[in-house]
Amino acid sequence: MKGFAMLKIGSVGWIEKDRPKCGPMDAICRPLALAPCTSDVHTVWEGAVGERHNMILGHEGTGEIVEVGELVKDFKPGDKVIVPAITPDWNSLEAQGGYSMHSHGMLNGWKFSNVKDGLFGEFFHVNDPDGNLALLPENIDLKVAPMLSDMVPTGFHGAELADVQYGDEVLVIGIGPVGLMAVAGANLRGASRIYAVGTRPVCIEAAKFYGATDFIDYKGGTISEQALRLTKGRGVDKVIIAGGTVDTFAEAVKSLKAGGRIGNVNYLGSGATIDIPRVEWGVGMGHKAINGGLMPGGRLRMEKLSRLVSVGKLDLSPLITHPFKGFEHIEEALYLMKEKPKDLIKPVVLL
Ligand code: NDP
Ligand code: ZN
Residue 224 Cβ contacting ligand 1 at under 6 Å: no
CA angle 145/148/154 to nearest 5° reads 155
Please give all residues whose CB falls under 5 A of ion ligand 2, grouped by chain where several chains appear.
37, 39, 150
> Hey, which bits of the chain come out as E strands?
2-8, 11-16, 26-35, 55-56, 60-68, 80-83, 124-127, 134-135, 170-173, 194-197, 214-216, 236-241, 256-264, 289-292, 320-325, 346-350
Residue 146 Cβ contacting ligand 1 at under 6 Å: no
In Å, how far are 33, 35, 50, 244, 252 from 175, measured between CA atoms?
23, 18, 27, 10, 15
* Beta-carbon count within 10 A of 138 CB: 7
Residue nearest to atom 11 of ligand 1 (CA): 198
For residues 47-53, average pLDDT: 93
Residue 213 Cβ contacting ligand 1 at under 6 Å: no
pLDDT at 218 over 90: yes
Is the model's pTM score more than 0.90? yes
Residue 349 Cβ contacting ligand 1 at under 6 Å: no
Q: Tell me: the pLDDT tens digits for 115-139? A: 999 999 999 999 999 999 999 999 9
Report pLDDT for 320. 98
Residues 337, 31: Cα–Cα separation, whole Å: 19
Q: Tell me: the pLDDT tens digits for 259-276? A: 999 999 999 988 999 999
Q: What is the mean pLDDT of the chain?
A: 98
Mutate to test the pocket of ligand 1, among 60, 267, 340 (most ligand atoms within 8 A of CB): 267
Give the CA dihedral 60, 66, 71, 74, nearest 10 degrees.
Answer: 70
Residues 347, 26: Cα–Cα separation, whole Å: 29
CA angle 122/125/130 to nearest 5° reads 130
**Interstrand relation of 214-216 and 289-292 (parallel, antiparallel or unpaired):** unpaired
Report pLDDT for 270. 87
